A and B are shown apart, each in its own frame.
Chain A
Amino acid sequence: MAAETGTPTTLTLKSNDDELFSVAESAAILSVTIRNMVEDGCAGGVIPLDNVDGKTLASVITYMNGISAIPADEEKKKSYRDKFLSDKDFETLADMVLAANYLNMSCLMDAVSAKIAQVMEKKSVGWVRRKFGIENDYTPEEEAAVKEEHKWTFEGVETDDDN
C-alpha cells in the first residue's frame, strides 16, 4: 500500500485506519483543508486525515479524480456527480458528508446534502423513520399535537413509501 511521495504533484493521504492513498495534488486541493496544508508546506510527507476511514477516503478520492478530470463544464460535472452518488446507500452518504465537512469540500458537501435531502423529501414520516432508524419517542398524543401544529406540511402530499 506504500505510495510514491517523490513527485511534487502527488500527495499521500492516510486514513484513520492507516490506509495510504496517492492522489494528484491538483485533484486533492479540491479539499480546502488539504489545500491549506499544501500552502503551509505541511504536505511534504504523509497527510494524516484523522476523521476519515479508508473506505470513505477511497470514495472521496475517486470523486476528486473524476470531477477534476472534467473541464469547466457545469453540465458534465453535474451528471458526473449524479452518477457518482446514484449507487451509494445512506450510510455511505452520511460518511461522505462528514468527510466532505472535515475536508472542507463544498462541491461534494453540496452534492451529497442535496442527494440526502432528495431522498428524505419524497417520503412519508414513517418511511424516513424506518429507513434512517429514527426511534419515535413521542407519545401518540404528543405526535398528534406536533402534526396538528404543522398541519399545512401534510396538505396535498403524496409520499412514495416504496422500499
Chain B
Amino acid sequence: MDNNKNTNEKNTNKDVISNLPDHILHEFLVRMPLRNAVRTSVLSREWRDKWKYIQELVLNKDSGFFYRYHDHQFRIYQLLFNHRAQIRKFSLAVPPFMRLSTIDLLILCLSRNHLVCDFTLAPYVMDNYIMPSHFYAFRKLAVVRLSRCTLISPPQFQGFSTLVKIEFQEVQFLPGAFERFISRCPCLESLYLSSKTINMDSLEVAGPSLRIFACHGFVKTIHFKSCPVLAQLWQKGWDANVLEMIQEQETPNPYLNQLKKIELHCYSGTFHQTALLKYLLTSATGLEYMVIVPASNYKPSVDLRVQTMEYPWASPAARLI
C-alpha cells in the first residue's frame, strides 16, 4: 500500500519534462526524426499539440515520413493542416511516384503562409523539376539546398536579399541565368556547386560577400569577377580528364587577393589545370594553404610538390599541403 503510494507520488513529482518551457521542448522535438516528434502527441493531452509548434519540418526517409509508399500527397496535406507554427526550416526529399504538382502546391503554401529561412528540396532522381515561381517569393531565405531541378527566375525576381548559402547539385540554368541569379543575392557567403551530368561552358563567380566557393564537376571556364572577400576555393573534378578550367583574365586577378585556402582535387597535370594552378598562385597574394590532391591514376614525371614549388608564388607565407 505504502509502497504503491510512494511510487505514485514519485511519478507525479518526477514529470520534469512536461514542465519544461515549450521553447525548450521544441529544441528536443526538432532534434528527433519527425515521426518521433509527432508520436509524442500520444503521451498525454498536454503533449497532444506540442509538435505542432515546431518550426522545422524535415520530410525524408530518415524522418520516417516516407516509410511506406502510399498516399504521400494526403499525408503531406494532413501534416501541413495540423501544423500550426511558422515554418522556418523545410526539407523535402521527394519519393518516387509523388506528383510534381504536390511540390508546386507545397511551395505555394510555404511562400504564402510562412517565412522559410532554410529550404532543401531534392526531387526524385528521374524528375526534371522546374522550380515554380512561388519559390522566388521566399523573402527570408538564408540557406538553400536544391538538387536535380531547373531554375528559371521570373523577370520580376528581385533577388534573395538575405541568402547566405547556396548548395546546388545537378541544378540547371538557362545560359547567363546563373550569373543573374547570384548577382541578386548580395549577402551570399558560401556557394557550392556540383554536377556529374551538366556541362557548363563558362561560369562567372561574383559576389561582394562571397567567402567560400566550391565547385565539383564539369565547368570549362570560371571567371572570378568582383569577389573581394573570397577566402576559400575548392575545385573537385569528377573526372580529371574532362575538367578544364581556363582563366582568360588579367593576371594577377585583384579579386583573389583575399584567398586563404585553395584545394584542387583530381589534379592530373593537364595543360589547363597547370595553367589554373599557376594563375591561382600568382593571384592569391594572401594565400595560407594550398592543397593539391592528385587524381588516382596520375603519375607525374616530376614530383608534383617539387614542381609546384617552382612556380611563382605570390604569397610568401603560403604552405603546400
Contacts and interface: CB of A to CB of B under 8 A. Distances in A.
Nearest to A90: B16
Interface in A14-65: none
7 contacts: A134-B15, A138-B44, A146-B42, A154-B39, A155-B64, A155-B67, A155-B68
B36 A134 contact: no
Contacts of A136: 43-44
Contact of B32 (A117, A129, A133): A117
A133 B10 contact: yes
Interface string B195-219: 0000000000000000000000000
A91 interface: yes
Contact of A135 (B10, B29, B44): B44
A152 B82 CA distance: 14
A85 B45 CA distance: 30
A152 B75 contact: yes
A150 B43 contact: no
Contacts of B75: 152
B31 A133 contact: no
B32 A121 contact: yes
DSSP majority for the A interface? helix
B15 A135 contact: yes
A3 interface: no
A121 B40 CA distance: 9
A109 B24 CA distance: 9
A109 B30 CA distance: 13
Interface in B35-54: 35-36, 38-48
A92 to B, nearest CB: 10
> Which 10 residue pairs of A and B lie closest in terms of their CB atoms, listed nearest first?
A133-B14, A117-B31, A121-B32, A113-B27, A121-B36, A153-B39, A117-B32, A133-B15, A132-B17, A94-B16
Interface of B: 10-18, 20-21, 24, 27-29, 31-33, 35-36, 38-48, 64-65, 67-68, 75
Greatest chain B CB density within 10 A among A94, A128, A153, A156 is at A153
Contacts of B10: 133
A69 interface: no
B144 to A, nearest CB: 23
B32 to A, nearest CB: 4
B27 A109 contact: yes
Contacts of A5: none
Max count, chain A CB within 10 A of own CB: residue among B12, B16, B18, B42? B42
A137 interface: yes
A147 B11 CA distance: 24
A113 B56 CA distance: 15
Contacts of A114: 31
Interface string A124-163: 0100110011111110001100110110111111000000
Contacts of B45: 137-138, 142
B15 A132 contact: yes
A128 B11 contact: no
A101 interface: yes
B47 A134 contact: yes
Contact of A153 (B12, B28, B64, B68): B64
Contacts of B20: 94, 97-98
A124 to B, nearest CB: 9
A116 interface: yes
Q: Which of A94, A136, A150, A154 lies at the interface centre, i.e. has the most chain B CB atoms within 10 A of its CB?
A: A150
B15 A146 contact: no
A125 B31 contact: no
B24 A101 contact: yes
A155 B64 CA distance: 9
Interface string A61-100: 0000000000000000000000000000011001001100
Nearest to A129: B43
Contact of A98 (B24, B36, B68): B24
Contacts of A134: 15, 17-18, 43-44, 47
Contacts of A116: 17, 28
A120 B28 contact: yes
Given A125-B43, A147-B42, A133 B36 contact: no
A149 B41 CA distance: 10
